[in-house]
Structure 1
Amino acid sequence: MVKLAQSISSGLAIIAGHTYRVGQVGSFVRIPLGYQDLFGVVAEVGANAAPEDAGVKEVDTGRWMRVELAGEAIGERFERGLSQHPNIHDSVHIVTEADLRRIYGGDEDDQIAIGTLSSAENIVVRLSLDALVTRHSAILGSTGAGKSTTVASIVRSIVAPSDAKGSKGARVLLLDIHGEYSSALSDLAKVFSATPQPGEEPLYVPYWALEAGELLDFVTGPLNDNQLTAITDKIQEMKGESLANSSLAGLDLQSLTVDSPVPFSLRQLWYDLTDFETATFSGPQRDTPCLETPGDAQTLTAPRYQPHAMGSAGPFLNSAARGIRRQLNLLRSRLLDRRYDFILHPGPWEPELDGTTSEDLDTLLEGWLGHDRPLTVLDLSGVPSSVLVRLIGSILRIVYEALYWSREKTEGGVLRPLLIVMEEAHRYVSPESGNVAAEVVKRIAKEGRKYGVGAMLVSQRPAEIDETVLSQCGTLIALRLSNPTDRGRVKGALPDNLSGLMDLLPVLRTGEAIIAGEAARLPVRTRIFLPAAEHQPRSSDPKVSAAWKTRRLAEGYDRVVASWRAQRTTAVVNDVQIPRSPVTDESVPE
């Protein structure tokens, strides 16, 4: 507890021509102890901060502050943590700009500049890049508080800051749910999209790299144990045949499992199982197939058998059928639905009927993680909501498993770490989600530090993020939060006891954040750098007053319906072809 001196009871102090406000929640104080200076953060001010044994008169006439000690400095070197504690009646000083430069003025190699102090905008706030990535982080704030801009600003500060000291060899993977970052970071990133625009690469996620249970849950729906066994046994058989036809490095038949990332054809799986389920037989032993037309796996045309008949003459149904015709119909429907081409028809990674593919997973990972740019943006805005969470889980699993098992190699996460930025994290990391995405994120949060995989969660509803995951985020960047439940979750996740500081969350300005945790030297209220207009995400609010004052132009709602039907914002009704020919200057005679 610190008591304010009567000489500055006005709350203002002038030092070296600068005016300082004293006793503000979130401001810093300095306690000199010999050759050392202890630094603390004002967490609470007023009667609530007074000692319990203080009388009413003393509380009324004095001003009390509760200070949380956070670090110490010897000379010009500041460190978190304390080697000693102050005594009763030790003097407490205002932290001036010179002191702030001792704390935040360090320019070590692992420091990145992300903004300025709200109380002193000429003091740059820096975060430890090592702690920000390996100890995980979370950017939390209500809609309109500046989350997207903060993400873009921090990513740009990491890989391409204005002082040209960025991490050119960085490896950042950003999951863009709403398509906000493609244009904002296009100069730094390679963009993959399910609905690619000019300059973007198509996004493919091979279905055969997914776990069998997750894949079947999507393409066949719920299965009982007998049905699941029938289909997974067939998948295991087909993967074994594919492996026998073309060997894969690091895998043999003895170590093959149904979840091994080995190509197999879903078309052939559908055809073989449909043929087995619908077959009819005749003859004394009921073993002669009554096939009329063979069908075609490539075109998903089912084989046709003679209908079964009652009595002893036949034809007879296949008594070994597993009753999965409804599930097979759903599988065929999924394969024919063009919205799912990015996962069920993954371009050069789509297997032929015999399981062979043009490309393997090494080229997929090289495209995502091994290109010459420090940032990869996966634009998922064109992905149907029914498969979005499953797709995110698949991407995270492929990336994490690859880096986990390659941790002894130069491409692995230990020697070249990866930061995964997860937008709208509450959609797939909620406590009751129980999906593969939540499981992978939990695994990254718990053990990713050891294998060079860091997570940055971005969410407007921290109360809906699994508490285990949020507690593993060593650095919290909290923007304006109005919901009391969300603020309570942030308070509970803070590594420092700064509940008073968190009371400022509802009144923070747009783009202003309270940063606390491993990467910050001290818990601090910061104005995040605002990127240039051309580098800001497409997440700003529409200008209602300006739009409604403008006279309406000619509108074509046929274009609206075309985009709706195409599930693509750039769809057109009439594809206008403009003939273009080169123009040459002809010399004019004098």
Structure 2
Amino acid sequence: MTSLGRVISVRGSLARVGLLSTSKMTIPEIRATVGRFVSIRCPNSIIVAMITDVSCEQVPSSADYIATAGVDLLGEILGGERPKFQRGVTHYPTIGDPVDLINNQELRTVYAPSGSDQINVGTLQQDPSVIAYVDVEEMLSKHFAVLGSTGVGKSTGVSLLLNEILKSRPNLRIFLLDVHNEYGRCFGERAQVLNPRNLRLPFWLFNFEEIVDVLFGGRPGVPDELDILAEVIPLAKGVYTQYQHSDRIGLKRADPRAVGYTVDTPVPYRLVDLISLIDERMGKLENRSSRIIYHKLISRIETVRNDPRYAFMFDNANVGGDTMAEVISYLFRLPAQGRPMTIMQLAGFPAEVVDSVVSVLCRMAFDFGLWSDGVSPLLFVCEEAHRYASADRSIGFGPTRKAVSRIAKEGRKYGVYLGLVTQRPAELDATIISQCNTLFTMRLANDRDQALLRSAVSDAAANLLSFVPSLGTREVLAFGEGVALPTRLRFKEVPPHQLPRSEAAIKTMPSVAAGHDLHFVAAVLERWRGATSQRDVPNDPSLGDRQTVRPSEPRPVEAPMLQPSMGLDPDRFSLLKKPLR
């Protein structure tokens, strides 16, 4: 059979191929288009290359060529009884070597799984009969990222990857930051779902920068108040230690300063002791203006302490108890007990503390890996990563960026792996994304995002990135250590029960019948106010963890003014039985 073309020039990892007009190939075979693989026949090997451009300009007149194509040399198939593919080229082609479109058998050799630690993520775009495998060890140990604009199937791709990883590595623990509460149902019984209602993250686990961020609502702290806090927090930890060991002779009278705790030492202390120490210092002051600073600080602490939205931090704040072991076991599934994955739903947290909560979780994940010598590996997946590790140092919360960066740079040494998911890679800290050695890139239209990818991809097939704006839904360009070659593939179908779906979504329903609209709104307002007031509002199990109004979930009620489709309990909203004025 006549070859598709012949090599007409070679330069480093690039070559130019002349496409022959005398080819006897059929029409489907002869489509030597951008992105397709070709094979260059050499005496000792078959070089695998990818077409990056096709042109009919500057066609050599001395030969029967109709066009030329630029190709990137990616690797080679070495002969023998069992052909094997390896990256890189040891024997370069020479002028005149024949070039053909790669056949099915050669593609299977290139993408053949090299071991049992491979996961099936989809099929090749060039040949759907060839399965695209990803090396789990390479992908995890050197971090990975999933990039793509909204609506291209990014969340579905993340669900697919994590489900396949769970199958391949049942003992690996996974921690997923779920920004939009859309992954709760994707992993079934293998995942524990956490939210503000069932999370207990004691305030004393927060380091100084993180607790300041909480107390000041994400705004910069007042310097005078920060000085007071920095002085009294270590003392409050010392007081608690004395309290715990008061039965031991001599410790009861010991000076709290002698305990040696710093402001960031992760040991318990009680808010009542903290406020008492501040109040004690305030009582020694004679200057009234100086006392105002102490008053404001006490008021600030008590306001946050009494805010029901912060109950996950300040529940039992004055009872004490060193529960750090229980918290870490609960968060990071030690032991897993059949649920190796934790999904942290962040949408229900107060916006002012989301950054500090993420900072605490990242920091604890890394520190536990560090001090346990990595004996229990953990994959930390960060959805919407650009929100927590922004390239712009003037926005976001510095400690969160630092915690994510620390996992990216050093986590692999201690069994803490990082998975980043973002729709705006250009807004993500370049140092962090550069540590991800496997990239799954879906459609990206923004020029800045594409420029960042070009700088991050070191493979010879960086020209593949020119395809990024035209990728279809579920189509992916996979680069890096986890895949055999830079590959254009299509993620496989995900079962319906594994599809991400926001729990906040409310199905379209017929409008509420006239005459009941006002009562429905009043019931919603009652629940709304109850979520941010100190009086208890009973939980309604039919409404789920987030207590979101869901007209699509019917519940029988007796109140004549409420329709069953509203899903509301009249006992909780007795005020509606009275006429509204």
For this structure pair, what is the TM-score category when the shorter chain's length is used for normalisation?
0.7 to 0.9
Amino acid at match of 1:269: L
- 1:214 is matched with 210
Whether 2:570 is the aligned partner of 1:570: answer no
- Tell me the TM-score normalised to structure 2 length: 0.79
What does the per-residue CA deviation read over 1:226-285, in whole Å, with 9 as the maximum and x for residues that have no partner?
Answer: 5433222211111123234447xxxx96653221101011233124313532x379xxxx
Q: CA deviation at 1:175?
A: 0.7
Distance 1:338 1:317 in 2: 35
What does the per-residue CA deviation read over 1:456-515, in whole Å, with 9 as the maximum and x for residues that have no partner?
Answer: 110111111011111111011111112222222222211224343212212211111111
Task: State the structure with bigger RCO (CA 8 A, min sep 6), 1 or 2.
Answer: 1
- 2:376 is matched with 416
- 1:288 is matched with none
Whether 2:366 is the aligned partner of 1:362: answer no
Q: Given the alignment, which residue of 228, 233, 238 partners 1:230?
A: 228
Amino acid at match of 2:275: W
Q: Which runs of 5+ in 1 are unaligned?
A: 161-165, 196-201, 282-315, 408-412, 579-590
Q: Given the alignment, which residue of 272, 279, 283 partners 2:277?
A: 272
With over 3 angstroms needed to count, the CA separation of the structure-2 counterparts of 1:45 and 1:246, relative to structure 1, is farther
Q: Given the alignment, which residue of 242, 253, 262 partners 2:267?
A: 262
Q: Given the alignment, which residue of 418, 423, 429 partners 1:455?
A: 418
What does the per-residue CA deviation read over 1:40-71, in whole Å, with 9 as the maximum and x for residues that have no partner?
Answer: 22223326xx7xxx578689963222222222
SS in structure 1 at match of 2:132: strand
- 2:175 is matched with 173
Distance 2:446 2:23 in 1: 34
Q: Name the % identity.
A: 30
Amino acid at match of 1:241: V
- 2:76 is matched with 72
Q: Quick check: 1:25–1:500 contact (8 Å CA) kept in 2?
A: no
With over 3 angstroms needed to count, the CA separation of the structure-2 counterparts of 1:204 and 1:58, relative to structure 1, is farther
Q: Given the alignment, which residue of 445, 466, 477 partners 2:408?
A: 445
- 1:2 is matched with 16
Instruction: Map 1:348-387 onto structure 2 (within 5 A).
Output: 350-352=316-318, 356-357=320-321, 360-369=323-332, 370=334, 371-372=336-337, 373-387=339-353
Whether 2:153 is the aligned partner of 1:190: answer no
With over 3 angstroms needed to count, the CA separation of the structure-2 counterparts of 1:321 and 1:519, relative to structure 1, is same
- 2:464 is matched with 501
Distance 2:48 2:229 in 1: 64
Question: Which deviates more from structure 2 when the two are superposed, residues 444-453 or residues 456-465?
Answer: 444-453
- 1:312 is matched with none
With over 3 angstroms needed to count, the CA separation of the structure-2 counterparts of 1:398 and 1:43, relative to structure 1, is same
With over 3 angstroms needed to count, the CA separation of the structure-2 counterparts of 1:212 and 1:488, relative to structure 1, is same
Q: Quick check: 1:2–1:92 contact (8 Å CA) kept in 2?
A: no
With over 3 angstroms needed to count, the CA separation of the structure-2 counterparts of 1:577 and 1:169, relative to structure 1, is farther
Q: CA deviation at 1:334?
A: 0.8
Question: Which deviates more from structure 2 when the two are superposed, residues 395-404 or residues 568-577?
Answer: 568-577
Instruction: Map 1:107-146 onto structure 2 (within 5 A).
Output: 108-146=115-153
Amino acid at match of 2:469: P
Q: Quick check: 1:13–1:22 contact (8 Å CA) kept in 2?
A: no
With over 3 angstroms needed to count, the CA separation of the structure-2 counterparts of 1:398 and 1:323, relative to structure 1, is same
Q: CA deviation at 1:31?
A: 2.2
- 1:427 is matched with 387
Q: Quick check: 1:132–1:475 contact (8 Å CA) kept in 2?
A: yes
Whether 2:528 is the aligned partner of 1:561: answer no
Q: CA deviation at 1:553?
A: 5.1
Amino acid at match of 1:514: L
Q: Given the alignment, which residue of 305, 314, 321 partners 1:335?
A: 305
Distance 1:150 1:336 in 2: 41
- 1:585 is matched with none
- 1:404 is matched with 370
Whether 2:51 is the aligned partner of 1:42: answer yes
Q: Quick check: 2:22–2:64 contact (8 Å CA) kept in 1?
A: no
Distance 2:448 2:194 in 1: 36
Amino acid at match of 1:170: L
Distance 2:521 2:370 in 1: 50
What does the per-residue CA deviation read over 1:388-413, in whole Å, with 9 as the maximum and x for residues that have no partner?
Answer: 11111111111111111111xxxxx3
Q: Quick check: 1:3–1:62 contact (8 Å CA) kept in 2?
A: no
Q: CA deviation at 1:146?
A: 0.7
SS in structure 2 at match of 1:143: coil
With over 3 angstroms needed to count, the CA separation of the structure-2 counterparts of 1:340 and 1:135, relative to structure 1, is same
Q: CA deviation at 1:131?
A: 1.4
Distance 2:40 2:154 in 1: 35
Distance 2:504 2:19 in 1: 47
Q: Given the alignment, which residue of 35, 40, 47 partners 1:26?
A: 35
Q: CA deviation at 1:21?
A: 5.1
With over 3 angstroms needed to count, the CA separation of the structure-2 counterparts of 1:351 and 1:224, relative to structure 1, is closer
Q: Given the alignment, which residue of 323, 344, 351 partners 2:314?
A: 344
With over 3 angstroms needed to count, the CA separation of the structure-2 counterparts of 1:235 and 1:118, relative to structure 1, is same
SS in structure 2 at match of 1:63: strand
- 1:391 is matched with 357
Distance 1:270 1:543 in 2: 44
